[in-house]
Amino acid sequence: MKKRKMNAIRLALAVSMVPGAMGVSAAAAMPVLAQGNDEAVSFPEVYSRDLVMPMTDDAEISKKVDALVKTMTREEKFAFMGSNGTGNEGNAGALVGCPRLGVPTIKMYDGPAGLLYTEDTTNPPQEQMLAATWSEEMARLYGEVVSRENQAIGGSMMLSAQLDIQRQPQFARTKDQLGEDSTPLSALADDLVEGMTSEGGIAVLKHYGAFAQNANPGSNTNVEVDEQTLHETYLAGFESAVRSDAAIGVMSSYNKDRSGNVFQLRKPVRNAS
């Protein structure tokens, strides 16, 4: 049990800190510290591209994460397991970081049509309109705009792309989805996410999985989907983005049945004839 808990903490730290703490690699994020004085730590307001690109050497990542885990206190470790809520810069929350070890605050900005920020940012057409282009090149360019602005405002996690399947036109989040067909969604998802991470930072795919109109906490939404439909339709876009190796973050959906399950699988109905 102790080993499983440690592995869980290592995984959380690997996702949150090493590939993209403020989009910053652990090596680049470590300033010279005055011994025992947190106030001596300072981080730039805007990180240059060389400081925000994720690390790709698995051995080096493991080495740095192991060193951080061994050095951090219990309180510092658990601080990376949850957010402090909505921030004062329009961000959707932040992880407090660990200045003592050179790990800055990790800010999360909502999307997907641009980044939600207190100052002006580029507001591109909705993802629904992006899907209408059927253009993989356009999807990547769309993502690159988000990536550059995320870097410019000091962001780390972009809470998008939204890769849900459209089901109800009147749903408020329909505009943020890439259509009702899993084929073009899959074709565009990997390019969109690769563009979003091209300048550094973490793309957080949402909402996994089988997102429904009123799937909010406490709504007791009963989402029923057979396993074949789940994989071929609802999860196809997520699979495409994850296989590209560009996505390392996933936001869960809130859907659940009345028994408290995330979603309910049922066997496909076979035609008796």
Please write the tens of the pLDDT for every residue from 200-214: 889 999 988 887 655
Residue 128 has φ and ψ, to the nearest 5°, of: -60, -40
User: Can you list the alpha helix ranges (DSSP code H) found in 72-217?
Assistant: 74-78, 127-133, 136-152, 182-196
Residue 159 has φ and ψ, to the nearest 5°, of: -80, 65
Q: In the structure encoding, which two tokens stand for residue 67, read together? A: 């060193």
Q: What is the pLDDT of residues 50-83, one digit of tens each?
A: 777 778 888 998 999 899 999 999 999 988 887 7
- The pLDDT score that the predictor gives to residue 212 is 63
Query: Are 270 and 227 contacting, i.e. CB atoms less than 8 angstroms apart?
Result: no
* Region of poorest pLDDT, from 44-53, 67-76, 215-224: 215-224
Sheet strands (E) in 30-181: 93-95, 106-110, 157-159
Q: In the structure encoding, which two tokens stand for residue 82, read together? A: 């949850």
One-letter amino acid identity for 18?
A: V
Question: CA-based Rg of the chain, rounded to a whole angstrom?
Answer: 20
CATH classification number, 2-266, choose in 2.60.40.4070, 3.40.50.720, 3.20.20.70, 3.20.20.300: 3.20.20.300
Taking the C-alpha atoms of residue 121 and residue 149, their distance in angstroms, rounded to an integer, is 7
Taking the C-alpha atoms of residue 118 and residue 108, their distance in angstroms, rounded to an integer, is 13
